[in-house]
Amino acid sequence: MSNLLTVSPSPHVGTTQSVNKLMYGVVLSLVPAFLVSVYFFGAGALIVTLISIASCVVFESAIQRFILKSEVRISDGSAIVTGLLLAFNLPSNIPWWMIVIGALFAIGVGKMTYGGLGNNPFNPALVGRVFLLISFPVQMTSWPLPMVSRLQYTDATTGATPLGVLKEAVRNGETVTEVMKQLPDHMQLFLGQMGGSLGEVSAAALLLGFLWLLYKKIITWHIPVFIVTTVFVFTGILWMIDPSKNASPAFHILTGGVLLGAIYMATDLVTSPMTIPGMILFAIGIGVITVVIRVFGAYPEGVSFAILIMNAFVPLINKYLKPSRFGKEVKYV
């Protein structure tokens, strides 16, 4: 049998890239953010991350094996990525059973009901996160403060995030400049010294991860750059109109989940558009909705909802923003 020649259709060579390498590349790019989260939030960060990853992997393999009765494919790493990103959207003092419920919803409803990897229209980690936010609003909006309770888990000391403080203050009629004095300065915000979910706090760590993703050609630069630019421009306009009621664009970008969402959640391969113009439209939509929710809505943070809303538009975007075909019109120079 080994003397028989192999016959197959062309091409006979292929890339060394694989789905597993893409997924594990994302995991590697999140390592800086993970290390920073452990540095700021201590034991809680570690516990939440591990429980989240473990639950996602267990649920995916159980569903594939017992319900779908198909091959168990957790080795492709996509469940690990979902688990990691779900953890990065949670506060570090969330009880373990909430994480498990969130993972079950993220994997079970957000991914497997649609047919598994590649078939889900919504980002599974965000589906889990938003489900938890709506089901357990109090727990999901109490954020541990950085550095203070690193050895504690569920009993960590909590406080409002900078965006939360801003929202409250504006509602109470204070001016933005006064509020800014109470909040960390821009360098602290950049490095991550603020309350927030595990992954969103450190802009520096996230940017490192972004560079790694670009180098490994896992994502393209368009979605993150256009989301951040849109947020910057939109908040910039509002800030120039009324600086007493609106914070500066830099503040908006460095706080909350804009960078985490832009670099990791919106760029999720399965749920983002297939062409560059589509990606740009998608990104601008996310930026606009985020700012609208932040400034005019009831929630202090809007990235998760913005991304999920734009995920719903992706099939429409793919249908109408098709790549430009070669030879569509006669180009005769």
Query: Is residue 22 within the footprint of other proteins (CB under 8 A)?
Result: yes
CB of 315 to other proteins, least distance (A): 11
280 to each of 227, 273, 305, 310, how far by Cα in Å? 8, 9, 18, 12
Residue 73 binds other proteins (CB under 8 A): yes
Q: Which is nearer to other proteins, 4 or 151 (CB)?
A: 4
For the CB of residue 222, give the shortest distance to other proteins in the complex, in Å.
11
Write the CA distances from 311 to 106, 270, 273, 315, integer angstroms: 15, 10, 9, 8
Q: What is the DSSP letter of 311?
A: H
Task: Name which of residues 250 to 279 contact other proteins (CB under 8 A).
Answer: 269-275
Tell me: does residue 70 bind other proteins (CB under 8 A): no
| 173 counts as binding other proteins under rule CB under 8 A | no
DSSP 108: I
What count of Cα atoms within 13 Å lies in the side-chain half-sphere of residue 2?
0
Among 117, 126, 223, 260, binds other proteins (CB under 8 A): 117
Q: How far is the CB of 12 from other proteins (least distance, A)?
A: 5
CB of 53 to other proteins, least distance (A): 19
Least distance from C-beta 294 to other proteins, angstroms? 29
Q: Residue 174: CB partners within 8 Å, gap ≥ 6? A: none
Region 187-226 residues binding other proteins, contact defined as CB under 8 A:
none
The residue length of the chain stands at: 333
Of the candidates 21, 186, 216, 245, which one interacts with other proteins according to CB under 8 A?
Answer: 21
Q: How far is the CB of 68 from other proteins (least distance, A)?
A: 13
Residue 272's nearest CA partner among 260, 286, 257, 252 is 286
Tell me the chain's radius of gyration from C-alpha atoms: 21
Any contact of residue 65 with other proteins (CB under 8 A)? no
CB neighbour list of residue 298: distance below 8 Å, 6 or more residues apart: none
| SS3 assignment, position 158 | strand
Return residues touching other proteins (CB under 8 A).
Answer: 1-2, 4-15, 17-19, 21-22, 73, 76, 78, 116-119, 269-275, 322-333
